[in-house]
Amino acid sequence: MKNLTAIFALITLAFCLHSCGPKWSEIEEEGFNLIVNHGGATLGYSPESGVQILTVDRMGFKDLNQNGTLDPYEDWRLSADERAKDLASKMSVEQIAGLMLYSAHQSIPSGGRRASTYNNKPYEESGALPSDLSDDQKKFLTDDNLRHVLITRVESPVVAAKWNNNAQAFVEGLGMGIPVNTSSDPRHGSDSNAEYNEGSGGSISMWPTTLGLAATFNPDLMLQFGEIASKEYRALGIATALSPQIDLATEPRWSRFSGTMGEDPYLATDLARAYVDGFQSTEGKGWGYQSVNAMVKHWPGGGPEEGGRDGHFGYGAYAVYPGKNMADHTKPFTEGAFKLNGDTKSASAVMPYYTISTGHGEAVANGYNHYLITEVLRGEYGYDGVLCTDWGITRDVSSIGKFEGKPWGVEELTEAERHFKAIEAGMDQFGGNNDMKPVLEAYKIGVNEHGEEKMRSRFETSAVRLLKNIFRTGLFDNAYLNIAKTEELVGNPDFMKIGFNAQLSSIVMLKNKNKTLPVTEKKKVFVPERYIAPSVNWWGMVTPEKVEPAFNLDMVAKYFEIVKNASEADFALVGIESPDGGTGYNENDLEKGGNGYVPISLQYDTYTANNARETSLAGGSPLEDFTNRTYKGKTVTARNTRDMDLVNDTKQLMGNKPVVVIVNVKKPMVFSEIEPNSDAVLIHMGVQDQALLEIISGKTEPSALLPFQMPADMKTVELQFEDVPRDMEPYVDSENNTYDFAFGLNWKGKIEDDRTAKYGKKQ
C-alpha cells in the first residue's frame, strides 16, 4: 500500500509540474536567446542587456523596463494598439522626442561622405568589425533616444544582420527597451553586368526599377515583388520601407520620374495597392514577422514640379496645378495605398514631399501645410498612420542652388519653430534629424501656446502611431536575426530567378523595322564604345569623362560573335541613355545677370525654349529678389549629346545593315533625333544586360508597354500641364508607330491585350 501511495504521489507531482509549471523554454542562439512560449509568442532578448524574463500565467514575457512587473506594453497577448497606448503613456517627453526622430543616412560600416568614427578613430584604423555600432550611432541611440534608423550601403547581408543584432542588444537595456526600427530606400535594383543562371545568388534579388515594373502593367507581379522584397528586408533587419514612390509622373522633365509608377492614375493606383499589400502582409495574413511597414511617398504627389525642377533644391520648391488637377495625384494614395486588399488595410506611413503645393493651403512645404495634412489627409481621408517629413526640411539653407536644408516657405523661422509648425500641421516624425533638442524646444513652444496637458497629449498621439508600427511588425517581441537564415534567404536562387523574369517582362520594344529582331543565330555584332561626359552630383562630387563599352562584352559574346569593325558585322548593337537635359538651374546664368533658370531638355541636341511661359506660375522665395522664374528663350544642350551621335554615326558606318538601339530610359525623351537611324529600338528602366540579350536573341518575346508618353518634340513638352497626365502629342516613328501610353510591340506587332484594354484608353 505504501508503494502505491508513493507512486500515486509521484504521478501527482509530475502532473502538477507539467500542468502548473512554466509553459516556455529557452534556446541559446548566436548572440541572443529565444524564449519559446508553447502556444504563444516566441521572444528574443540579449542576456547581456539586463532584461529578465517574467513568468505570468505560466508564459514568458520580457521585462523591458526592468521594473519586475508585467506592464501591458510587455504583454504579447494584447493588441498593438493597446500596447502602444500603454507605452506612450509611460514615456517621458524626452523619450517621445527621440521616437519622433528619423536618422540621417547610415552606411554599414560607416564610411564615405557621412563617415563616423569607431572609438574616436576612422573605421579603417579602429580595428572595429563592420557590424559594430559607430560612435554617432551609439550617441543618437543613447543621448537622443532615437529608434528609427535609415541604412544605405551594407557590406553584405551577414554584416547587416549582425549589425541589427548588435543594435537591438544595445538599445534593449536602455529606458523602456524600445527596439530599433531600421528602414531603407529601395535596394532591389539590377547590376547590368551581373550574370544570371539557374544557381545564381547575390546580395539581394535583382529587379527592374519601379518604373520598369510599371511597364509590365501587371499588379500581380508588383504584389509578388513586394512579398519577396519584404522577406529579404526582414532578413536584413529592415522593418520599414521608405517606399513606394507613388507620385504621379505627369511632368516628363522631373528628375525623379524614374522612381515613379508612371503617369496614369489608374495604373499607378493598382500598382501602389499591390506594392503595399506585398510589403505589409505576412504570407497574405496581415501583420507578422515578414511584414515591412510601407512609407508611401510623396503626399499629395510630388510630380507636378514647375518646369520639371526638383524640390531637393530651392529652385524646384514649387508644385503647380495649371490643369487644376490635384485629384489625379492623390488617387494612388487614397484609392490605392489606403485601400488595400490585404488585412493590413492601409499603408502604415506617409511622407509628404518637399514642395509647396501652389494654391492648396498656406504657401509652405507640404510637411508644414496644415490644410493638406490635417484637414485633407487626416480629416477628409481619415488617415491615422505615421506622417514623416522628407529628409532635412527643418534644416537651414543659404541659397537656391545648394543641397542643404529644404525649409521651403519657412526659411525665416528657427529650427525649433519649424519643428513646432510641422507638429502643428499634423506631422509625427522628422526625417534626417538625429538630434532631439529642437523637438524638445518645439515642445516648450507648444506648452507656452497650448499648455502642458495639450502638448503632452499631442506628443503621445504621435508616439502611439510610431509605436504601433514597431509592435505590429513584431520587433518588441523578437527583433533578432538568425545569421545563417539571413545568409540562406537574401538573394537566393529562387528569388533571383523571379526577379530576372520580371526584368524580361519590363523591356519595351518600340520599333522593329523589317523584323530586325529577333536575331536568332549567333551573328557577327559591332558594339561601339560609349562616351560618358564628366559630371558633378548633388554633393559636388566629380565623375571624370570616360569611354567604355555600353554592355558587358563577355555577356554579349555568349550570344553573338563580336567584331571590331562595322564592315565585318551583320548588325550593330548600340547602348545609350535618355537625354540628360540638366536640372533647370544654372549658376552661370545668374552670374551673367539672368535669373538662373534654364530649360530642362528631353532631347540630345541644343534646345532653345521659345515656347516656354513668359511668366512662371510660382515664385517668391526669400532667397531671391524676384518672382518670375521664366526661362523662355534660353538654350541648353544635353550632357550626353554624344549618345545621339553614337546612334547616327553607327548607322552611317553600317550602311544598309541593321542598327539595334537600346536606351536606358530615366524619363520621357524626344526620339526624332535617333529613331530614323535605328532599325530596332528597345527601352528599359534598369535591367541586366543579359535580360536585353535574351530579348534580342529571341529567347524571350518582348511584352512590356510604355507607362508614359514619349513626346513628339519639346514644344509639346512646354505646352503640356505639369499636373495633367497623358496630355502631350506622342512621337510617331517611321514605321507609323505612335509612342503613346500603353504602346509596345511583340514579334507579331502592336500589343493589344487585356492590359491595353483596361488601362490604354484615357479615362
166: amino acid identity, one letter: N
Classify 419 as helix, strand or coil.
helix
Alpha helices in 473-492 (DSSP H): 483-489
Flag residues of the chain having pLDDT under 70: 1-19, 196-201, 538-539
How far is the CA of 20 from the CAs of 14, 537, 755, in angstroms?
10, 66, 61
How far is the CA of 547 from the CAs of 190, 339, 644, in angstroms?
22, 49, 15
By DSSP bridging, strand 680-684 and strand 745-746 are unpaired
CATH number corresponding to 93-186+199-489:
3.20.20.300
498: amino acid identity, one letter: I
CB 562, CB 550: distance < 8 Å: no
Sequence-separated (6 or more) residues with CB below 8 Å from residue 572: 525, 526, 527, 528, 566, 650, 651, 653, 654, 657, 658, 659, 660
* pLDDT score at 762: 81
Classify 376 as helix, strand or coil.
helix
Measured between alpha carbons, how far is 402 from 405 in angstroms, rounded to an integer? 9
* pLDDT score at 543: 81
Quote the radius of gyration of the chain (alpha carbons, Å).
Answer: 28
With respect to CATH, is domain 507-579+640-703+732-760 assigned 3.40.50.1700?
yes
Measured between alpha carbons, how far is 578 from 555 in angstroms, rounded to an integer? 23
Place of cell 517611321: 734
Residue 566 has which C-alpha cell?
Answer: 562595322
Which of the 8 DSSP states describes residue 567? G
* pLDDT score at 600: 98
Q: At what angle do helices 437-450 and 452-472 cross, to 10 degrees?
A: 140
* pLDDT score at 202: 72
CB 582, CB 597: distance < 8 Å: no
307: amino acid identity, one letter: G
Place of cell 536584413: 236
Residue 691 has which C-alpha cell?
Answer: 535580360
534: amino acid identity, one letter: P
Sequence-separated (6 or more) residues with CB below 8 Å from residue 299: 330, 333, 350, 351, 352, 353, 366, 372, 373, 377
How far is the CA of 182 from the CAs of 85, 152, 204, 234, 484, in angstroms?
22, 10, 17, 10, 20
Measured between alpha carbons, how far is 630 from 613 in angstroms, rounded to an integer? 6
Place of cell 487626416: 378
Classify 663 as helix, strand or coil.
strand
Domain boundaries of the chain, sorted by first residue: 2-78, 93-186+199-489, 507-579+640-703+732-760, 580-637
Measured between alpha carbons, how far is 256 from 263 in angstroms, rounded to an integer? 12
* pLDDT score at 544: 87
* pLDDT score at 197: 67
pLDDT in tens, 13-65: 444 445 578 999 999 999 999 999 999 999 999 999 999 999 999 999 999 99
368: amino acid identity, one letter: Y
What single string gives the DSSP state of each residue in 721-761?
-TT-TT-SPBPB-TT--B--TT--EETTEE--SHHIIIIIS
Measured between alpha carbons, how far is 203 from 201 in angstroms, rounded to an integer? 7
Place of cell 543584432: 165
Instruction: Give backbone dihedrals phi and psi of 309, rounded to 5 degrees, phi first.
Output: -75, 140
* pLDDT score at 14: 44
Alpha helices in 237-290 (DSSP H): 265-280
- The pTM is what? 0.95
Instruction: Give backbone dihedrals phi and psi of 203, rounded to 5 degrees, phi first.
Output: -70, -20
* pLDDT score at 539: 66
CB 102, CB 388: distance < 8 Å: yes
Closest of 478, 509, 473 to residue 695, by C-alpha = 509
Phi-psi region of 442 (alpha: psi -120 to 50; beta: other; left: phi over 0): alpha
* pLDDT score at 723: 98
Residue 173 has which C-alpha cell?
Answer: 537595456
Q: Write b or e for each residue in 591-607: b if 16 or more Cβ atoms lie within 10 A of its Cβ, otherwise e.
A: eeeebbbbbbbbbbeeb
CB 488, CB 481: distance < 8 Å: no
Residue 60 has which C-alpha cell?
Answer: 514568458
